[in-house]
Structure 1
Amino acid sequence: MALESRLELKLQQKLVLTPQLQMAIKLLQMPQLELSQTLTQELVENPFLEELTEVSSKEEMTKEERESSEPDESAQRDDSEIPLEKLMAFSSAEDYFDERSYDGRDLGYFTPDNVTQPSFEYFLSTSADLFDHLIWQLRLSREEENVRTVGEIIIGNIDENGYLKMTNEEIAEVANTDTETAERAVRLVQSFDPPGIAARDIKECLQLQLKTLRLEGTLVETLVAKNLDMLGKRKYPQLAKLYNVPIDDIMAAVKIIEGLDPKPGSNFSSSAVNYITPDVYIIKTDNGYQIVLNDEGLPRLRISSYYQRLLSQKNAIPKEDRQFLEDKLRSAIWLMKSLDQRNKTIYRVTECILNFQRDFFDKGVNFLKPLNLKDIASELGLHESTISRVTSNKYLSCPRGIYGFRFFFSNAIPSDSGEISATTVKQMVKKIIAEEDSSKPLSDMSIVDIFKSQNINIARRTIAKYREELKIPSQSQRKR
């Protein structure tokens, strides 16, 4: 077969994700906080983007509107303003400020040389974390220097819940000392506040707290040391029989144990609490429901008129700079179009969810209907992946609370009266268990029978699955 060179013309269709399309997809799935950070970054990088503020809105007003809205300058002038002639007559700056402070208005611009102003750091309020709290107690202790040095290593290896994650041998190896010194340092740190600190496990943590309460050698300490598993399973009659004591004594000991803190270090946690910011508000009005997109915290963008004028001048800037500005202009326009498309898509999806789940908004969670992404996609003429991006990591606020968009999507469970939402079944399981007799808790099979009496067919393993998702203990653990 001979080799030859030739030109061929082919026609083919290909779907390519351009950078602009990738940006639109990325913006669509961003939650509120991440979108705000992205827009702020775009404001820094793109000169064509400006944040629209009240001041910039006022600059766009006509001359007559500005003159009518601005107050009279003579009315704003301070009566105490010193004329220019009198200002020139002052021989020094000290004379000027002496004149200004004659009526008691000391501006505080000058300070005598012998007075030192305090640092602004002294005015900052900070709460001590667990490490600082323990180090402070360690420095007040009267132990030997080598023990306190090992104590610092121990404190540095205590986790946020207050547990020590090192053995005595590991401590001795890191501190280059013997295990006896390491043990002394551990006992020293365990004597600090909060009680139970630097324990290796939950049992030791509770025992240290009982030691602080001077309950060593009592029934409470015995139950913690030997029967913690039985306490977790609430086998109180068996414990009373085992130790030959009245069950009231067991219950009194249990009450003391329940008052102990299994995570003594959590009260010193400095982690910030992140609150949910809803992306959409559904407000109930006299005429029905109103959908409002949340734009709080998002910068309002506009195209810079200055760079538009600069780009319109043909010979004002070099060719390379013009190319750069043209690229940034296209990027800015596409960003604003993508934001507008994002808002419209979220609004349409929210409106569709409102129509599908109208009974939920009117009557409550028991009236939630089965719904999947395909139903919304078919209704709006969009792809399921688009609906998935819209509903991912986004929240909706309505008169019944704040819910994630995915809350409104659930599988269908058959019943004699029709299909019922799995979310509704979970709420029914939660309600049934909340109303049960704590001395005779219901088994999963008993809950299945209750559903069958309501013409809802559901398997026992499904009840167990929903109970675990709701973080509800098993029958034996709920017994009191």
Structure 2
Amino acid sequence: LSSSGYLLASAEELAALAHCEPAAVAEVLERVQLFDPVGVAARDARECLLIQIKNLGYDRDPILRELVESHLEDLEAKRYKPLLKKFHLDVEELREYLDIIQSLDPLPGSSFGGGEPTYVSPDVYVYKMGNEFVILLNEDGLPQLQLSSLAQMDMDSASEKEKEYCAEKMRSASWLIKSLYQRQRTLYKVMESIVRHQRPFFEEGVTRLAPLILKDIADDIGMHESTVSRITTSKYVATPHGIFELKFFFNSGLELDDGSQVGSESVKALIKKFIAEEDPKNPLSDERIGEMLKERLKVNIARRTVAKYRTALDIPSSSRRKEHF
């Protein structure tokens, strides 16, 4: 199974491992897919949701079944008009179907931990010194390269071909050393720009993370977006608020009622905080979390958006959280 609870092997592969026919695997798989959490060992989201619908007894509704079987992409893209016309529904009836589908869990394994821990050594450190932030590069893993003294050996007796060969290798070595130095300089400039753009985060934490895109940093330091993208991939920074991947600082924005913006990661952090502080016997619904966000941030955020962010945080729905308690 994948970390999301999906089956990664085919019926034929499992049959070969168990020395049986694929039909026998299919029969057993149908039983396994009804284990808790229902939908585990499904091959994809469509099959996972159909299993849950059948388990709840909703499969008797042909419209609900076909929406899941054939129109998940339409629902995700909010292409509602063709569906209203095809199934002869009004908006409220379609909303009822959407509520049922959104109450299902497309990632039945996501609430269960697993896998080996990943240990991260930060590439950059950001410390606060007085009113300023100081950036230090972690160069422990970088070799201190220099040209060997052997490269300067006497070439008087060498042929022109040998001299050219040695000169070419020395140029390549010098280029490599300069490239490593330039890479560190670029990383420093990118981090310096991120600190400028995200200073409220470095001052106060994740809830103050501002909207930011690669182009903002690229324009600030006079480099191409692709360069910024490469230098921030799989790089980590140690901050006063924890260790984060550099890509974490790039996030979309939600517009507040006063016209300003708040970063999506800030909203996720608040959702995580609200759920961590909830009463386990009476967990917060996505709708209630949306109301709390509006009170705190003065931002209108749809229940569907709260559900999307909650799913991205690997947090189960309120009903699942209550069951787990």
TM-score range, shorter chain: 0.5 to 0.7
Equivalents in 2 of 1:274, 1:425: separation in Å?
26
Identity of paired residues, percent?
Answer: 43
**Deviation of the 1:409 alpha carbon:** 1.1
Cα distance in 1 between the residues matched to 2:275 and 2:294: 16
Gaps of 5+ in 2: 1-12, 22-30, 37-54, 57-111
Task: Classify 1:435/1:272 alpha carbon distance in 2 versus 1 (closer, same or farther; 3 Å).
Answer: closer
Distance (Å, rounded) in 1 between the aligned partners of 2:235 and 2:191: 11
What is the distance in 1 between the residues matched to 2:117 and 2:314? 22
Deviates more, 1:298-307 or 1:317-326: 317-326
- State the distance in 2 between where 1:458 and 1:202 align: 34
The offset of 1:203, in angstroms, is 8.4
2:187 to 335, 346, 369: 346
Q: Matches of residues 67-82 of structure 1 in structure 2 within 5 Å?
A: none
The amino acid that maps onto 1:330 is R
- Aligned pair count? 230
Partner of 1:473: 316
Distance in structure 2 (CA, Å) of the matches to 1:277 and 1:204 = 39
| Equivalent position of 1:444 in the other structure | 286
Q: CA distance change for structure 1 residues 297 and 451 in 2, over 3 Å: closer, same or farther?
A: closer
In 2: Cα distance, 1:274 partner to 1:410 partner:
23
Q: After TM superposition, list the pairs within 5 Å mapping 1:395-414 onto structure 2.
A: 395-414=236-255
> Residues of 2 paired with 1:272 and 1:355: CA distance?
35
In structure 1, the residue matched to 2:306 is: 463
SS at match of 1:282: strand
- Map of 2:229 onto structure 1: 388
- Cα 1:168–1:335, aligned 2, differ >3 Å: closer, same or farther? closer
Q: In structure 2, what is the Cα distance between the partners aligned to 1:374 and 1:428?
A: 26
Distance 2:236 2:267 in 1: 22
How far apart, in 1, do the equivalents of 2:131 and 2:274 lie?
36
Give CA deviations for 1:149-189 in whole Å, capped at 9, x if unaligned: xxxxxxxxxxxxxxxx856994379xxxxxxxxxxxxxxxx
RMSD of aligned Cα (Å):
3.1
Give the structure with higher Rg (CA).
1
Q: Call closer, same or farther: CA 1:452–1:272 in 2, change over 3 Å.
A: closer
**Equivalent in the alignment of 2:272:** 430
The C-alpha deviation readout for 1:197-218, integer Å capped at 9, x for no partner, is xxx959899xxxxxxxxxxxxx
- Compared CA separation, residues 204 and 438, structure 1 to 2 (3 A): closer
SS in 1 for 2:141: coil
**Partner in structure 2 of residue 358 of structure 1:** 199
Letter in 1 for 2:183: R
- Distance in 2, Cα, partners of 1:412 & 1:172: 53
How far, CA to CA, are the matches of 1:168 and 1:323 in structure 2? 59
- Residue 371 of structure 1 is aligned with which of 203, 212, 216? 212
In 1, Cα distance between the equivalents of 2:130 and 2:137?
A: 19
Aligned to 2:120: 276
Query: Structure 1 unaligned runs (5+)?
Result: 1-164, 174-199, 206-228, 231-261
Where do residues 84-95 of structure 1 align in structure 2 (5 Å cutoff)? none
Tell me the CA shift for residue 466 of structure 1. Answer: 0.3
| Cα drift, residue 453 of structure 1 | 2.9
Residue aligning to 2:149: 305
CA distance in 1, matches of 2:127, 2:17: 62
Residue type at the aligned position of 1:469? A
Cα distance in 2 for partners of 1:273, 1:441 equals 29
Which deviations, in whole Å up to 9, do the C-alpha atoms of 1:197-249 show, x marking residues without a partner?
xxx959899xxxxxxxxxxxxxxxxxxxxxxx89xxxxxxxxxxxxxxxxxxx
**1:284 Cα deviation after fit:** 2.4
Please give the secondary structure, in 2, of the residue aligned with 1:301. Answer: coil
Alignment match, 1:171: 19
Greater relative contact order (Cα < 8 A, sep 6+): 1
Report deviation, 1:442. Answer: 2.3
Rounded Cα–Cα distance in structure 2 between residues aligned with 1:368 and 1:424: 5
